Structure 1
Amino acid sequence: MAESSKKCIIEDVKTIILDFDGTIHESIKVYGPAFRKCYRFLVDLGCAEEKEWADGEIARWLGFTKEEMWKDFMPDLDTDIRHKAGGMIGKEMNSLLSGGKGVLYHGALEVLEGLKKRGYSLVFMSNCSVKYRDMVTEVFNLDRYFDHIYSSEEFGFIPKDEIFRMVSGSLKPGFAMVGDRHKDMEVGVGNDVCTIGCLYGYGNSEELKDADRLINDISELLEIFK
């Protein structure tokens, strides 16, 4: 990760940008079953070997765009099969979410409500599809808390730091980015954005080493942003 010359002054923050999966949403609860269903499909086609996947192995791809996930997971898979398998994951996740299987981190909505009441503008920014964004927005009533809800698909799956530069002009100045992966921390590099790394998510401490603050629970955001 490139070194940043920014200075983080928490008191200047007016807009808090939050990642979703691994920050607000304990998404392995729906991504794990969806991935395993997809993998079974690939095994049945003869494209993959039998394997029992642990949640920790699957979680490494949370926070990736779908293109990045497949490039890392099975880069040589036939394009048509990859598209069908990828669609299967998305469809199954949305089915599980609509069936009430989605789980937010304990106290997440209370934290969002508390930040909103304190006058912060909240922005949702996730490396996800539009369909997934719309589903989680509906299931968890996220539009009650967020002033803007962005999915990376809307921007052609470009990196979050580029999305930030595209939308920041329409946001209230004074920014913080909250997330669990290095892609979230990169928003802060050269952009005068405070970064809060979520150690409870799906990244690791190395990915978050350049964060301005580290938290072990989402409730700690209420201690940082008074």
Structure 2
Amino acid sequence: MLQSLIFDMDGTLFQTDKILELSLDDAFNHLKSRNLWNGPTPIEKYREIMGVPLPVVWEALLPNHSNEIREQTDAFFLERLIENIRKGKGALYPNVKATFSFLIENNCSIYIASNGLPEYLSSIVKYYNLDRWVTETFSIQQIKSMDKSDLVKAIIQKYNIKNAAVVGDRLSDIKAAKENGLVAIGCKFDFSKDEELAQADIVIDNLIQLQTVLLDIKEPESTVF
């Protein structure tokens, strides 16, 4: 069995869609109140780019706005996300805790590598008590390049990881695994895309399947469950 698993957060462990639209609506209604936005909240456009760092998100959603407005919107959006988490409006995906317990029982260490901001990640970890199992949670903000492959590399170096997999729902997770010589496990969840998952070594549609597939991993090979 693998020594470690490195998990993405949004769309892999945390059902971001449960608070995404609420928080994004809040952010764009705030822009409307300042006469800085007209029309509906661009939720579908956000879903298309889900998984990229937030500065990239605001460049895409607010292409005609200044960096100052983007930064203000980002800060407001983060506040609303955290508040909705604290109110219990979000949720983990099914079997996160059961899977984490299984991994720890089998001497597999757990890390989180996310494009989310540290305060946001911390609020999820704290609300769901994930630090019972997770060794450390890493944010893309800790890496100058803002590249997930570099973030995973930093985790590998810090903890001297030799035999591991990255578990995530988007291409950035799969690339982070491949570029660091790790197994890429794709999650066919809410924000995933089939053309991206096709590049993973293994694809699952429920985290509980990790309990089975991890016992059989020897070297990467395409498998769909």
Cα drift, residue 44 of structure 1: 3.0
Cα drift, residue 37 of structure 1: 0.9
TM-score (norm 1): 0.88
Greater RCO, 1 or 2 (C-alpha within 8 Å, sep 6+): 1
Equivalent-residue separation in structure 1 for 2:158 and 2:29 (angstroms): 44
Output the amino acid matched with 1:62.
M
1:127, 1:157 within 8 Å by CA — same for their partners in 2?
A: no
Output the amino acid matched with 1:114.
F
Q: Does 1:116 align with 2:104?
A: yes
Output the amino acid matched with 2:92.
L
Q: Does 1:159 align with 2:159?
A: no
SS of structure 1 residue aligned to 2:194: coil
The alpha-carbon distance between structure 1 residues 53 and 193, as it changes in their structure 2 partners (threshold 3 A), is: same
Q: Percent identity?
A: 21
Equivalent-residue separation in structure 2 for 1:93 and 1:201 (angstroms): 18
Give the equivalent residue in structure 1 for 2:12.
23
2:42, 2:61 within 8 Å by CA — same for their partners in 1?
A: no
Q: Deviations over 1:64-89 (max 9, x none)?
A: 21111012212221222211111111
Q: Does 1:67 align with 2:55?
A: yes
Equivalent-residue separation in structure 1 for 2:90 and 2:14 (angstroms): 8
Q: Does 1:224 align with 2:218?
A: no
RMSD of equivalent CA atoms: 1.7
SS of structure 2 residue aligned to 1:206: helix
Give the equivalent residue in structure 2 for 1:46.
35
Match of 2:75 among 87, 90, 110: 87
Match of 1:199 among 183, 188, 210: 188
Cα drift, residue 57 of structure 1: 4.6
The alpha-carbon distance between structure 1 residues 81 and 52, as it changes in their structure 2 partners (threshold 3 A), is: closer
1:115, 1:225 within 8 Å by CA — same for their partners in 2?
A: no
Give the equivalent residue in structure 2 for 1:37.
26
Equivalent-residue separation in structure 2 for 1:65 and 1:52 (angstroms): 19
1:32, 1:58 within 8 Å by CA — same for their partners in 2?
A: no
Structure 2 unpaired stretches of 5+:
216-225
The alpha-carbon distance between structure 1 residues 180 and 146, as it changes in their structure 2 partners (threshold 3 A), is: same
Give the equivalent residue in structure 1 for 2:89.
101
Give the equivalent residue in structure 1 for 2:223.
none
- Residue-pair matches, total: 214
Runs of at least 4 residues of structure 1 off by over 4 A? none
Cα drift, residue 219 of structure 1: 1.4
Q: Deviations over 1:129-163 (max 9, x none)?
A: 11112111110111111112111112246111011
Equivalent-residue separation in structure 1 for 2:144 and 2:179 (angstroms): 22
Equivalent-residue separation in structure 2 for 1:27 and 1:19 (angstroms): 12
Output the amino acid matched with 1:167.
I
